[in-house]
Chain A
Amino acid sequence: MAVFLTGSSFSLKKTVQPVETGILKMVFLNTANGKPVVLRDSIYNNYFGEQYRINKLKYYISNILLTGKNVHNKMGIYYLVNAANDENAIELILPEGKYYNLTFLLGVDSIKNCSGAQTDALDPMNDMFWTWNTGYVMFKLEGTSDASNADLQRIEHHVGGYKGDHNVVTKIDFTFMDSPWIEIKKNKVTEILIEMNLDNYWHGNSEIKISQLPVCTTIGMLAKNVSANFKNLFSIKTISTLP
């Protein structure tokens, strides 16, 4: 305690100008067919006219990077978006100012896949971890479809792989050429609503038909094919400063 008192008296003498900060709240909204995803309920159509229901939808967001006057690296943040949550939001404290670039990874970087037991979002208890071939499931979609020829007509996509040719981790990059910038204001919350549109999961760079790929639960070329569409999953709906 004595040390603490001494420490605080020293810090009073410093004359560093405090950086004014605000909060960036990244909200993830999962949609399909133009509607918010509702688990175990709604029926959706994919690009090929295959109908499906969704029972589980989970994916990792990590390595968030914001660029304004300076680059702000939020490498330490790992967030598991889960459609079962009421809201999926990441809150970041940032210096006030305008930011013209936002990037993040869909998935978990290779370092965290190789560094042993993790906790919080990366806890293997979140059921996003392969125990027999170490690595995180980056994107998990489970459901059912009449188009599926798998047992119980299930869809089971556990998309993962962090090494070499099997790496499915995808960098999502938003550059704001002009307004709306992401503007962080002192002591205010700026909310950026990011839509993850499942309609783009099935087509784009590769065609993922439920009839052909009802189950994909290992690393490999099939998972890599699925991940080819990851880049187009995300778009920014709105950016607003909350009152």
Chain B
Amino acid sequence: MKKNVVISISLFIVVSLTLIAAMHDDGYGPYDPTVLKLEIPPDWPKPPTDIYLNNKLTEQGFQLGKKLFYDGRLSKDGEVSCAGCHQQFAAFATFDHDLSHGVNNGFSTRNAPGLFNLAWMTELHWDGGINHIEVQPLAPITAKNEMGETLDSILFKIKKDTAYKRMFKAAFGDAAINSQRMLKAIAQFTGTLVSANSKYDKVKRGEAVFTSFEERGYEVFKVKCASCHKEPLFTDNSYRNNGLPLNRFFDIGRQGITQLSSDSLKFKVPSLRNAQVTFPYMHDGRIYSIPQVIEHYRSGIITDQPTLDSLLRNRISLTNLEKNQLVYFIYTLTDSSFNKNKRYAPSGNYGILNPGLDKH
């Protein structure tokens, strides 16, 4: 009798386990996530907030985010992926464009910033209007002059793709696809783009030495630039008016977000990392080269603006030699290992969907 009970219980367990396994086999492959950690370079400050607090970082989530990032289906016409305006070889800025191209031959009204070290930013966009990395893609996706698409339509398109179902399952445990999961996955890709291997970083780690010209440029930088472009991120993530005139789009910057007149014409201080490949510069890409940017600070600042940054009231005095030294120092902030890192490049054949530079 006792033996029978043991056998029936064992049978019950075996049958149940088989049933459970069958229930889990939905045809979309396994769920076996590989946990990732955000890489924090040595001697860097901790990110101000944990952007992955409610978004478990996994290899599968990262790969899904990458696929979405490179997928033109996130736009109305199927052509404009995130990567269309955020090109890896330009540190994920738009190479050689003041403004970026959207659907229907539209133009953005701001210069696409490079995407790296975003985990150290609490606010995104030139005006800081976005308060969390997960919700950032909603802005370009829905903007008529950028990707011009709706979330409904994107989900309709990607739900038809079995590859996506498998990847959502691999990342989140089941094949359900919704906007929240899509946005969390994209954040797993964009938030882990860490650029910290430039010559400057190697010098700091004792793996390389500056030339004397770069070294003098660094000295100039520390005296004249570093209070806003603070090391090691090369930005303090503040909003400042750097003395440019109001542009043709009447872009008042931070004031549009806070509604405070004291924020008029203030924009986020961009990182100088990878500046060599993110030209043109400023929020609307109005300045083409690094020497011209430095010249703006030396002689171009419009000083009679009430919200002009107090550090720029007297412009920045620099000799021609210092200016050149500074340029060479800024070149040491280029991180080719980041801009060429295959891990951040599209997997599979996306060459046709995303011709990149050739298209523009």
Contacts and interface: CB of A to CB of B under 8 A. Distances in A.
Interface string B119-131: 0000001000111
A182 to B, nearest CB: 33
Contacts of A220: 259
Contacts of A124: 135, 138, 151, 179
B256 interface: yes
A117 B134 contact: yes
A1 B16 contact: yes
Interface string B10-53: 00110011001000000000000000000000000000000100
A118 B180 CA distance: 6
B292 to A, nearest CB: 29
A218 interface: yes
A132 B109 CA distance: 13
Interface string B259-287: 10000000000000000000000000000
Interface stretch (A30-38, A99-107, A108-116, A203-211): A108-116
A119 B178 contact: yes
B184 A117 contact: yes
Interface in A177-223: 218-221
A171 interface: no
A1 B138 CA distance: 42
Contact of A1 (B20, B179, B257): B20
A133 interface: yes
A123 interface: yes
B321 interface: no
Contact of A115 (B13, B125, B132, B143): B132
Contacts of B151: 124-125
Contacts of B259: 166, 218-221
Q: Give the interface centre of B20, B125, B135, B257 by most chain A CB atoms within 10 Å.
A: B135
Nearest to B129: A133
Contacts of A242: none
A221 B54 CA distance: 33
Most buried by B among A113, A124, A131: A131
A32 B318 CA distance: 67
A2 B14 CA distance: 10
Given A1-B13, A218-B259, A219-B259, A134 B152 contact: no
B303 interface: no
B139 interface: yes
**Most chain B CB neighbours (cut-off 10 Å) among A123, A124, A218:** A124
Nearest to A2: B13
A133 B135 contact: no
A227 to B, nearest CB: 15
A114 B180 CA distance: 14
A117 B139 contact: no
Contacts of B132: 114-117, 134
B197 interface: no
B55 to A, nearest CB: 7
Nearest to A118: B180
A115 B133 CA distance: 9
Most buried by B among A113, A125, A132, A220: A132
B129 A134 contact: yes
Interface string A131-165: 11111000000000000000000000000000000
A47 interface: no
Nearest to A129: B138
A98 B178 CA distance: 40
B187 interface: yes
A134 B20 contact: no
Given A116-B54, A116-B187, A124-B151, A134 B130 contact: yes
Given A1-B16, A131-B139, A220-B259, A114 B131 contact: yes
Given A1-B13, A133-B129, A116 B138 contact: no
Interface in B106-164: 125, 129-135, 138-139, 141-143, 151-152, 155
Contacts of A117: 132, 134-135, 179-180, 183-184, 187
Contacts of A131: 135, 138-139, 141-143
Contacts of A1: 12-13, 16-17, 20
Given A124-B151, A221-B259, A134 B131 contact: yes
B109 to A, nearest CB: 11
Contacts of A115: 54, 132
Nearest to B257: A133
A132 B20 contact: no
A78 to B, nearest CB: 13
A133 B258 CA distance: 9
Given A1-B17, A125-B151, 7 more contacts: A1-B16, A2-B13, A117-B134, A124-B138, A131-B142, A132-B130, A133-B257
Interface of B: 12-13, 16-17, 20, 51, 54-55, 125, 129-135, 138-139, 141-143, 151-152, 155, 178-180, 183-184, 187, 256-257, 259
21 contacts: A1-B13, A1-B17, A2-B13, A115-B54, A116-B55, A116-B134, A116-B187, A117-B132, A117-B180, A117-B184, A119-B179, A119-B180, A123-B180, A124-B179, A125-B155, A131-B142, A134-B131, A134-B132, A134-B135, A166-B259, A218-B259
Interface of A: 1-2, 113-119, 123-125, 129, 131-135, 166, 218-221
In order of increasing CB-CB distance, the 7 nearest A-B pairs are A116-B134, A117-B183, A119-B180, A131-B138, A1-B16, A117-B134, A116-B132
